[in-house]
Amino acid sequence: MNRLKPAFARLNKLPRVALIVIGLFLALGSFAPWLAPQDPSAQNLLETGLGPTAAHWLGTDHLGRDTLSRLIIAANTSLVSVGSVLIIAMTVGVAMGTIAGYHRGWVDDLLMRIVDVGLSIPSLITALAVIGIVGPGYWTMVLALSLAWWPMSGRISRAVAVSIMSKPHIEALRVLGASPWRIYFGHLLPGTIGAVMVYATADAGTAALAVATLSFLGLGIQPPTPEWGQMLVDALPYLESDPRQVILPGLALTAAVIGFNILGESIALNRIPKPLSRRTLALRRIEVAGWAKENSDA
């Protein structure tokens, strides 16, 4: 924790807010079943469309369900589906990317053309086409979104893998007689996964948005499981009499997406300082000492 503190202090105000929002989202999502004050699907038709009261802090929806509890459980739903989408997409993407980066040649060309096609079609259209062929359902949604998401991590991991493969220590390993398996699993894969993970977290916002959009269209998470996009479309017919039920889930989703977008921008601009490990510090000290020597020679 102490090592994190200077890193946190060096951040600008905006990324700091983003980290707090993301932390809140992760905490709510992880502990939702214990945090929700009431049963999210308990209906009470005598108390529909209420405003904020002592029992229901954010009111109730058109079926008398507690909105606050539903919003919190929705964070959990969103977190789980986004997590599974990103894990599947990253596994496929890193596998394809490292294979392309390791082999080069026609394997690389073929895989990267597939990635190009995947990237040029909007992810929503890819996902909807897959759902249209396979039929709707929770796992279809996860599968469809993973299929739309893997080209992104595939391209990044291919670029990272190519740069790792051109480094001198890989050549040294080859000269020493290391097997391809050792180079691939011992050196190429760990390095690539680390780099891709950073970009994948930044992408979590768009993934959350895609899950909510599919649910809004009625093809993602099905009622009665609460999800922000699905809560919004559920309350849309009552927009005139009870706009709160539309605006609250929309705001929750927007806040989460803004958080991830700011984080992604900061990562792209390299504004997030990494906590320095002892090894990096030692390396840096040697480097600086080298400069000093060069200057004294001159």
Partner 1 sequence: MIHFISKRLRHSLVLLFMASLVCFTLVVSAPGNVAVLIAELRGAVATPGYVEKVAEEIGLHKPLLMRYAGWLGDAVRGDFGISYRTGQEVSADLPKRMLVTGTLIVGSAVVATLLGLALGFLGAFWPYRLPDRVSRGLALLGASTPTFFVGALMIYGFSVTFQLFPSFGFGGPESWVLPWVTVAVLPAAVLSRVVRVGLEEAMASPFVLTAKSKGLGRTAILFRDALPNIIPVFINALGTQVGLMTATAIIVEPLFAWQGVGDYFLQGVKFRDFMVVQACLLIFLAFFIVVNLIVDLAVLMTDPRVRRQWS
Which residues of the chain form contacts with partner 1 (CB under 8 A)?
117, 120-125, 128-129, 131-136, 205, 209, 212-213, 216-219, 229, 232-233, 236, 239-240, 243, 246-247, 250, 253-254, 257-258, 261-262
Q: Provide the terminal-to-terminal Cα distance of the chain, rounded to the nearest Å.
A: 43
Whether 278 contacts 230, CB under 8 Å: no
Smallest gap from residue 106 Cβ to partner 1 (A): 18
Residue 1 host element (H or E): none
Q: Which CB, 165 or 257, lies closer to partner 1? A: 257
**Which residue type does 23 have?**
G
- Comparing CA positions, the residue from 68, 26, 19, 50 lying closest to residue 251 is 68
Smallest gap from residue 122 Cβ to partner 1 (A): 4
Smallest gap from residue 268 Cβ to partner 1 (A): 12
> Which residues neighbour 178 within 8 Å (Cβ) at sequence distance 6 or greater?
186
Q: Distances in Å between the alpha carbon of 250 and those of 24, 255, 257, 266?
A: 17, 9, 11, 24
Q: Which CB, 239 or 283, lies closer to partner 1? A: 239
Smallest gap from residue 115 Cβ to partner 1 (A): 14
**Alpha-carbon gap, residue 167 to 261, rounded angstroms:** 32
Q: Which CB, 104 or 113, lies closer to partner 1? A: 113
Smallest gap from residue 120 Cβ to partner 1 (A): 7
Q: Which CB, 6 or 218, lies closer to partner 1? A: 218
Smallest gap from residue 201 Cβ to partner 1 (A): 16
Q: Which CB, 18 or 188, lies closer to partner 1? A: 18
Which residues share a beta bridge with 266? none
Smallest gap from residue 217 Cβ to partner 1 (A): 6
- Report helix, strand or coil for 239: coil
Q: Which CB, 87 or 121, lies closer to partner 1? A: 121
Q: Which CB, 23 or 218, lies closer to partner 1? A: 218
Question: What phi-psi label fits residue 10: left (phi over 0), alpha (psi between -120 and 50 degrees) or beta?
Answer: alpha
Both tokens assigned to 90: 């990253």
Burial zone of 155 (CB within 10 Å; 0-12 exposed, 13-18 middle, 19+ buried): buried
